[in-house]
Chain A
């Protein structure tokens, strides 16, 4: 196996940029954005719900690309990024699966329904939790290879989640359809700022997670070196 990444975490500068954009997003969500006429104030959950969903999709897309690169080059740097991105994608999907039912309970009157969008999102969560379990159970280079194949196949569910509300009958709100974006301009701007805040959060977490994984692999390498020296 070749290739490595220096263990460099997120810089203080990007931490501050993330903080400012996140505060701006929260201000816009609670103060700037108007109240949605049909759903009322509970619709304000939408901005973080969609921000997390888009970035979960993006995180799994990164897993897909990095897995392809790993299988092509066998460089560990792609494997490290794929693993880190999958873990963050699972965190973001968890946010989607937490905010969705709260919104549903307040608006529909029940926490969960086996709606296509909700069901495919839950399947997506299980796929990438399984990916992380495979990572922790398999051994050596096989682990990275299995995970890469799983990361590529698992990505198939992402377009299914996205298109599920167009393919099947659903009670999930459709923000974008053939007529365009069904929201007031202030809501669209607030959504864009929220998605930007979550994108910065994704890169912030990714950089920290990659640094941890790189340090962890260096620790394993030194342990092996000591074991070899000791003749174990």
Chain B
């Protein structure tokens, strides 16, 4: 395989995977933060309703 072609092929597939994993990681972090916030808010709402 020509080394320049190999470099382009490697760059192409690497960028695709970087994009996909970055998006999955971004969503994972967002989900984790939201789940924590939801838990806290539910607790606060329950406490307020018991008052």
Contacts and interface: CB of A to CB of B under 8 A. Distances in A.
Interface stretch (A94-102, A115-123, A129-137, A170-178): A94-102
Interface stretch (A41-49, A67-75, A161-169): A41-49
Contact of A106 (B5, B35, B37, B44): B5
Given A215-B38, A219-B37, A219-B38, A44 B9 contact: yes
Contact of B12 (A45, A225, A229): A45
A4 to B, nearest CB: 14
A223 B41 contact: yes
Interface string B14-51: 01100110011001001100110110011011001000
Contacts of A50: none
A40 interface: yes
Contacts of B23: 91, 205
A215 B31 CA distance: 8
Interface residues of B, number: 28
Contacts of A31: none
A99 B24 contact: no
A209 interface: yes
A53 B25 CA distance: 22
Given A99-B16, A212-B27, A215-B38, A42 B5 contact: yes
A94 B19 contact: yes
Contacts of A208: 24, 27, 31
Contacts of B30: 212
B9 A42 contact: yes
Interface string A74-103: 000000000000000001001100110011
Contacts of B42: 222
B44 A226 contact: yes
Interface of A: 9, 40-42, 44-45, 48, 52, 91, 94-95, 98-99, 102-103, 105-106, 201, 205, 208-209, 211-212, 215-216, 218-219, 222-223, 225-226, 229
21 contacts: A9-B31, A40-B2, A41-B6, A42-B8, A45-B9, A48-B16, A98-B19, A105-B8, A106-B8, A106-B9, A205-B24, A209-B27, A211-B31, A212-B31, A215-B38, A222-B38, A223-B41, A225-B45, A226-B45, A226-B48, A229-B48
Interface of B: 1-2, 4-6, 8-9, 11-13, 15-16, 19-20, 23-24, 27, 30-31, 34-35, 37-38, 41-42, 44-45, 48
